[in-house]
Amino acid sequence: MREIYYRQALSEALSEEMERDERVFLMGEDIGVYGGAYGVTRGLYEKFGEERVRDTAISEAAIAGAAAGAAMTGMRPVAEIMYIDFSTIATDQIINIAAKNRYMFGGKTTVPLVIRTEGGTGRGIAAHHSQSLEAWYVHIPGLYVVMPSTPYDAKGLLKSSIRNDNPVIFIEHKMLYGTKGLVPEEEYTVPLGVADVKREGGDITIIAYSKMVQVALSAADELTREGIECEVIDLRTLKPLDIETILESVKKTGKAIIVSEACKTGGVTGEVASQIMEMGFDYLDAPVIRVAGADVPIPMSPALEEVAIPQVSDIVEAVKEVIAR
């Protein structure tokens, strides 16, 4: 397989799905002539034209509302919201319209909408451009929430999201766009709601998603040198959650930690820990530990930003704490 960038994998997914289905179109701020804030839609305006790659006004509420309406009337829009922080302006359209209309119309309409956005830290752009708000959307019935960590998963999951008849919040980490990975040239998809074991091990399970998968894998490499073999699970889809894969791993290892860049309080880590406790308590030899972001607004200072989110050393320390019990 060839090795391509995360942003290229996303662009290929969009292009292929637009070629496959004429109902698929893109809309968002600066996605046309400019090619998107992170270069994902570069070249698509020239290839498909302004009718199918639409630059919008600077209004997240308008983007999400128009996209939801288009989806309900037979189109398959992929709407880009430049930062997940800005999705707060569109929560009424996302939560009260897109997420609920299929249910409220008794299944007589579908809402095949993908909202592409990006979150996370790493660029020192402070509290309004660096949040991890995925838990907000996980909480809402009717929404799928997807957060790929590799180019392979990014392409396959985006294609599956576009083909899905339900609204999908597709969250890309800003520090993953420039990462590379193996991606096949032939057609493939990655199913929604299926986690992936990125590394096998028998001593402890590390559960992570998005950029924290890469951090967890680095921690696992370091722990191997000390004789601790970690199994690393990439959730890939936060909702629906693949609890079966998680429980199979915990049954094998007897121990688990959950890693997330988002604030610990009210985060995805708490939900995963609760489900492990409810359905897999008898498998555990030690309490489940969460390694998550600090409950603070993200600082602009690179040094403080680094302290606010989990690092390799934090995961290593947590693993050793659980192993020692």
70 C-beta neighbours (distance < 10 Å), count: 19
Query: Is the pTM higher than 0.95?
Result: yes
* Percent of the chain as helix, strand, coil, to the nearest 5: 40, 20, 40
DSSP reduced 3-state for 75: coil
DSSP 181: E
CA 51 to chain centre: 28
**Taking a C-beta distance cutoff of 8 angstroms, is the pair 28, 79 a contact?**
yes
Interatomic CA distance for residues 223 and 226, integer angstroms: 5
- Burial label for 310, CB within 10 Å (0-12, 13-18, 19+), is buried
Q: Give the CA angle between residues 254, 260, 266 to the nearest 5°.
A: 95
CATH number for the segment(s) 196-323:
3.40.50.920
Interatomic CA distance for residues 261 and 267, integer angstroms: 10
Q: Report pLDDT for 199.
A: 98
Give me the numbers of helices (H) and strands (E) for the chain, helices first please: 12, 14
Q: Report pLDDT for 325.
A: 87
Tens of pLDDT, residue by residue over 174-227, are 999 999 999 999 999 999 999 999 999 999 999 999 999 999 999 999 999 999
Interatomic CA distance for residues 147 and 10, integer angstroms: 12
Write down the CATH superfamily of domain 2-183.
Answer: Thiamin diphosphate (ThDP)-binding fold, Pyr/PP domains (3.40.50.970)
- DSSP secondary structure letters along 123-172: S---TTS----HHHHHTSTT-EEE---SHHHHHHHHHHHHH-SS-EEEEE
Residue boundaries of the structural domains of the chain: 2-183, 196-323
**Is 2-183's fold the same as 196-323's?**
yes
Whether residue 1 has pLDDT greater than 90: no
Catalytic residues: 60, 129
Tens of pLDDT, residue by residue over 40-94, are 999 999 999 999 999 999 999 999 999 999 999 999 999 999 999 999 999 999 9
Q: Report pLDDT for 6.
A: 98
Closest CA to 156 of 243, 236, 210, 260: 236
Q: What residues contact 255, with CB distance under 8 A and at least 6 apart?
A: 203, 204, 205, 284, 285, 286, 322, 323, 325
Tens of pLDDT, residue by residue over 220-258, are 999 999 999 999 999 999 999 999 999 999 999 999 999
Tens of pLDDT, residue by residue over 252-293, are 999 999 999 999 999 999 999 999 999 999 999 999 999 999
Interatomic CA distance for residues 60 and 150, integer angstroms: 27
Q: What residues contact 86, with CB distance under 8 A and at least 6 apart?
A: 60, 117
Tens of pLDDT, residue by residue over 93-151, are 999 999 999 999 999 999 999 999 999 999 999 999 999 999 999 999 999 999 999 99
User: Taking residues 17-23, what's their average pLDDT?
Assistant: 98
Q: Report pLDDT for 241.
A: 98
